[in-house]
Amino acid sequence: MHKSMELDEMHPRVLRELADVVAKPLSMIFEKSWQSGEVPGDWKKGNIAPILKKGRKEDPWNYRPVSLTSVPGKIMEQILLEAMLRHMEEREVIQDSEHGFTKGKSCLTNLVAFYDGVTTSVDKGRATDVIYLDFYSGIECTLSKFADDIKLNGAIDTPEGWDAIQRDLDKLEKWAHVNLMRFNKAKCKVLHLGLDNPWNPYRLGDEGIERSPAEKDLGVLVNEKLDMSRQCVLAAQKANHILGCIKRSLVSRSREVILPLYSALVRPHLEYCVQLWSPQYRKDMELLEWVQRRAMKMIRGVEHLSYEERLRELGLFSLEKRRLWGDLIVAFQYL
C-alpha cells in the first residue's frame, strides 16, 4: 500500500481505498487471464531503474535492474504464488535447504546455515575454501528463473577435498553451458580460510578463479580471517551517511519525526543479518552504538539526558540488547 506508483500511474493506496469498486472488474481480468493463459500487455511493461551493485559505474554489467511493474499484475502474481507455495509445501516439493523466497527463510537463515558448516570446519583446524560464483544477469537462457549467485565450500586439507570442489565447478560450468548461461568469471572469487591453507588454484572452464581476501555474501563482508570488524565499519558508515542526510534535510527535531525515520532508514543497516556478523570486540560494539547515540541527540527535549535516560524516555533499547534479543529469537527458531 505504501509502494511507489507504477507505469500505469495507479497508486496502491487508491486501489486499497476503492477495493469494493475495483474488486469485480479485477476478478474478471484475472479469470480471463487465467483461462486464456495470457497476461495483459500493460502488465509486462515497467519502469526500470538501474541500481549499481559494485565495480565501475561505466560497466553496464555492474548494475541491477529494478522494475516497477503494474500493481494489479503483482496482485494476481501473489494470488497464484500463494496457491503454488501451498501446493508445494503440502507435497514437500521444496527442500529444507532452499532459502530464497521461502516462508520462514531469509538471507539470514541462508548465511547462518552456510557459515555454520564453514566455521565448524575452520574451528577443527581444517583448511577450508569458499568459492563465490556469479552469473551474467539479463542473459537469454532456457531457464525462466535462476539465482545469479552460487557459493561452494569444502575442507581442502586433503587432495580429495580439493578434487571434490573442482569436480563441482566442472559440473556447474557444463550445466551453465547446456542452459545457455555464462558465468561472470571476473566476479568469481575464492576465499582461502584456516591456518596452513595451501591456496589451491581452481578453474572455471579454461580460466582460473582469482583469490580474494574478502568478499560480500548477500550484503555481508566476509574476510579470510572471519573477522567482522570491517563489516561493522561498513554498516556504521552506511547508517551514518543516511542519518546525516536526514539531519540536513529536516527542520523538525520532534520525536514523532526523527524516531520513525531512524527506525525505518538508519537502524536496519546496523542490524541487517547481524546475527552472523555480531561485533566481537568492544570497539566495534561502541562504533555501532555511537550511531544510535548520535540519532538520539537529534531529538528535541532529551538533549540534557544521558544516553541510557534518553532510551528509557523514548522507549528504546540499546543496540547491544537488541542483538541479544535477536540472537535468542534465531536460536529459538532453530530449536
**Regions of the chain short of the pLDDT cut 50:** 144
Query: How far apart (Å, rounded) are the C-alpha atoms in residues 291 and 222?
Result: 22
What are the start-end ranges of the E strands in 199-269?
203-204, 207-208, 210-211, 214-217, 220-223
pTM, full prediction? 0.78
Q: Which helix (H) or strand (E) holds 255?
A: helix 255-261
Query: How far apart (Å, rounded) are the C-alpha atoms in residues 227 and 221?
Result: 9
Q: What is the structure's pLDDT at 144?
A: 47
Q: What angle do CA 25, 30, 34 make, to 5 degrees?
A: 150
Strand 210-211 with 189-193, pairing: parallel
> pLDDT of 178-218, one tens digit each?
888 888 888 899 999 998 898 989 999 889 999 999 999 99
Query: How far apart (Å, rounded) are the C-alpha atoms in residues 293 and 288?
Result: 9
